[in-house]
Every structure is written in structure tokens, then in C-alpha cells.
Amino acid sequence: MRICVYGAGAIGGNFAARLAAAGNDVSVVVRGTHLEAIRANGLVLHAGDRTIVAGVRASDRPADLGPQDAVLVTMKASGQHALAQSIGPLLGPDTPVAFVQNGIPWWYGHGLAPSRPPAPDLSRLDPGGALAKAIGLQRTVGAVVTSSNHVMAPGVVRNISPERNTLWVAETDDRQSPRILALRETLKAAGIASPPTTDIRHDVWHKLMANLTGSTVCLIVAQPSTIQASPPVNRLVRRAHAEAMAIAAAHGVMVDDDPEVRFGPGRVYPDHRPSILQDYELGRPMEVEAIVRAPLAFARSAGLDTPTLDAIEALCVTLAEAKGLYRA
């Protein structure tokens, strides 16, 4: 399959290297020193005891790469606005464009089942509808990822979870289309788990439970995920989790996420700094809108009282705005 990974940083670099090693024709859209390193040395992935040096086509201009069979957008939600003006050359008539991101995606309200309440106003995730217009809703594919990675050096990625790399993909209306089945098979052949799903919004909210209730607290206290085992922090994240579960349920999504499994005494937390904390510390634009504010828009549209998440939102927004990494 001819696949472009748009934004081959930590997660994108991991997936691009694996897909290329499996024999796919892979290209990446990157820039700066990352682009220079990949052109000179290939894309290098360290995953456990395995090292992959992938020969991929790399450019900062999608026009250099041409139409694709599939595009994986692994840019963070905070940077996706840049896609609208540049992604066109990668698109064929039916090229699926999968948005691999954290938080509530811009497409959430499109293809929503009539049995579920309508989504709140999510226009801040796609100002002016630029992504919807440039890509087309018929090409848009939902995606949810579980994979821990970081960039060690330009062009070099470390996969921290070599046995846990999963990418759920689905049409936004959950149809089991031929292109989704083909994309899942391609991912699995590259060692990336891609389980079948009949409800991509369930997967969105399930992943959001970790980001909204745990990662945000790590940001506030500037500590890795292990801080959630601390008794006072554990009580806080449990309250946040209960509120987040109620928000999902109010919008027709019953998340099978046992708090005792997520926060109980048997949980072993990774010594990993969540991406929202990494962005804060490195001075990169932060996914506050998708991870924090959009979920609370769902709460307000349902008339729910969420005091713990409201406090988390206020602190996250204040921290991000103070460093110029988010604008409310």
C-alpha cells in the first residue's frame, strides 16, 4: 500500500518505520532537522531489542509525494490547521485520511448515530471548517492510538511500548467499508494491532479517560504518570474519572473502564511523561482544546456538574496560556 504519514514525529515515526519494514511504499511529511536526518540516514526506530532503519521518502512539501492509498495524520490536534492548505496533493478520490490524535477529534459530530445526542459546538477544533473542506468528509477516517514513543534525536524514535502498539480505525459512521478492512490488514501485517471496532466514539472516549483524568494532572503537578499512585492524587483522578464517565454516558457512550483497574492498588504506572506535559516543558503548542475543553463542552451541553474537571480545566488553561502555548 502507498501510505503517507503526515507528521512523522514520535508516534508517526514509529508507525512509518514499521509500515515501511513490512514492504509498503511509505512517505513522510516532516520538516527541519528531522527531515534532514531522515533524508541522510533513513528513519530509525528502536523498539525493544529491534532496530529498524527504514528507507522512506521524506519531504516538507506534500506535492513532492503525490496521491496516496492512505494518509495517517499523526500531527497533534493543536497543529492540524496547517493541513488544510497543503494536504491536497496527497489525496485521490477515495484516499482515506485517518486522524491519529488524542482527545475529541474535529470530525466527532459528523456521521454521529441519530440515537445519540448531537455533539456540542466543536468549531474551535476546525476553525471555519477548513479541514472538512480541504479533505472532504467522505475521505475522513476516525482513529484512536495506544502507543508510547519519544524522539531520541532527529530522525530517531524510541518505541517505549514495543508490545503495545494499537491503532483503531473506522469510518466516522462506523460502516465496515472495504477500505477500512484493507487498512486494518495493512497495519496488522506491519506489527501494529488494529482490532475491529463498531463504535469509534467509544474508543475515543476510552482513550480520553487516560488523557483527561490522568495526563492533565501530571501536567498540573509536573510529574510523570507514576504520581497517580500517590494517595491524594489517586483520589483526585478517581473523582475526575467518575465525572468523565458520566459525560460520555450522557452522550450515549458507555465506556467499559473499571476505575479499580485504572487506578486501583494493583495498577503499575509507567514512568512516562504524558505528551501534554512534554509539550508544556518543551514549549510546543498544547492540545488543551481537544483533551480538556472539548470534553467539558459535552458536559455543559448535557447539563452536568463537573467540579473536579472544571478545576483541572482552569489550571491547564492557565498554565498553557501563561507560556503562550494555547489561546482560549
Cα–Cα distance for residue pair 99/104, rounded to 1 Å: 11
Rounded to an integer, what is the distance from CA 246 to the centroid of its chain?
A: 22
CA atoms within 13 A on the CB side of 250: 20
Active-site hit among 76, 133, 207, 323: 207
Active site residue 207: yes
Number of Cβ atoms within 10 Å of the Cβ of 146? 16
CA atoms within 13 A on the CB side of 66: 4
Q: Which residues are catalytic?
A: 207
